[in-house]
A and B are shown apart, each in its own frame.
Chain A
C-alpha cells in the first residue's frame, strides 16, 4: 500500500474559499513534500517541510506537519479557478532508501 493517503479524495469549492487537504503516512520521515498536477501534465513541486518543522508558508499555501500523528495538511487560501488540479503529498522515509513515495492525491475543483 502507498505510504501517504490524502483526504478527501475530491474537493469542490467556490472561488475565494479556502481549501484544506490532509495527508497521513505510516513510517518516520525525513521530509514531506506537496506537489500539484494539472490534468495530463507532469507534477510541479509546491513546498517541502522537514521532519523538525511544524509549519511552512509559501504565498497562499500553508503546510503543517504533525509527526506525532504522522499527518500533514495543505491549506490554499483565497482559492482561484486556476488552482483546479490534483494535489499529492510525498514522503521521504527516515532510512537509507531515499525513496520518494506518493500518496493517492486529492482532486480539487474550484468553481468560478
Chain B
C-alpha cells in the first residue's frame, strides 16, 4: 500500500529554471495539499485541492502553480525558481476535505542555487 508518493525525492535547480513536483495517492481521497517546510519551521500551505477539478490558494501561493490532473494526482510547478523557494515540499491527501486525517508523502528536498 503506497499511500502518498512524491517524486523526485531530491532536486537541485539553478535560479530561473522550472520544474514540476509530482504527487500521487492511491487511497481514493478527495482532497490533496501541497506544503513547504523551511528549517526549524512548521508547514505552510501553498495550494490545495478540496476535490477533483478544484484548486485554491493557501498561505504562500506566490511563485507556484498547481494542477489537479485527476483524482489521484496533484502536481506543483515552479515556473522560475528562486533561492527563497529552497525548502522541503510535502504533499498530503485526505478523504473528506480536512474532516478526516491527512496522509503525507515523504517529501521533496529542493535546493535552488
Contacts and interface: CB of A to CB of B under 8 A. Distances in A.
A74 interface: no
Nearest to A43: B104
Contact of A100 (B45, B56, B107): B45
Given A31-B98, A43-B90, A98-B98, A105 B45 contact: no
A101 B45 contact: yes
Contact of A33 (B33, B35, B97, B102): B102
Contacts of A31: 98-99
Interface of B: 4, 31, 33, 35, 41-45, 48, 50, 56, 58-59, 90, 92, 94, 97-107
B99 A30 contact: yes
Interface in A33-82: 33, 35, 41-45, 48
Interface of A: 2, 4, 30-31, 33, 35, 41-45, 48, 88, 90, 92, 97-105
Nearest to A4: B42
A105 B42 contact: yes
Given A99-B45, A105-B42, A42 B58 contact: no
A98 B101 contact: no
Contact of B50 (A48, A88, A98, A102): A98
Q: Across the A-B interface, give the 6 residue pairs with the lowest CB-CB distance, nearest first.
A: A92-B98, A42-B104, A45-B101, A98-B97, A102-B43, A104-B42
